[in-house]
Amino acid sequence: MTYEQLKLENQLCFPVYAASRLITRAYQPYLDKLEITYPQYLVLLILWEEDSKPVNDIARKLILNTNTITPLLKRMEQMGIIVRQRSKEDERKVMVQLTEKGKYLKEEASIIPEELVKQLLNEDLQVEDLITLKDKLNTIIQLLSK
């Protein structure tokens, strides 16, 4: 038996994993200028869309456990990007809000998505392809998140 199903080239997971790592690496020069990491950037994307979110909501959107995101948020708070505080309505909830520095980073980061797309586009890969890929990956995420 040749076990074709176990060859790396036949795996769905590997190109997704490799593309994720390479995309994250492409973000790095932009994030270095902002002095943030990629996971911190993801948290900021959520808060720039809607400031003041419970930790649980952020963790759920990023498909992370709260015990994974808590150290990340602590570091961001030490950096002066966010503040965390107990909800006045429900003391069990910890709310996360942007500071002025966190809000300022939004303007600085606004060029990042367009710059990344520019790096990816060529005669073999068009904007429509990227949109289709994103939609298909979101479908996979939904299926596997159940």
Q: Is the pLDDT of residue 14 over 90?
A: yes
Question: Quick one: what percent of the chain has pLDDT higher than 90?
Answer: 93
CB 92 within 8 A of CB 102: no
pLDDT at 91: 85
Q: Is the pLDDT of residue 8 over 90?
A: yes
Residue 103 burial (10 A CB sphere; 0-12, 13-18, 19+)? middle
CB 59 within 8 A of CB 68: yes
CB 43 within 8 A of CB 62: yes
pLDDT at 44: 98
pLDDT at 27: 97
Confidence of residue 47 (pLDDT cuts 50, 70, 90): very high
CB 68 within 8 A of CB 77: no
pLDDT at 146: 82
What is the maximal distance between C-alpha atoms in the chain? 63
| Per-chain mean pLDDT for the chain | 95
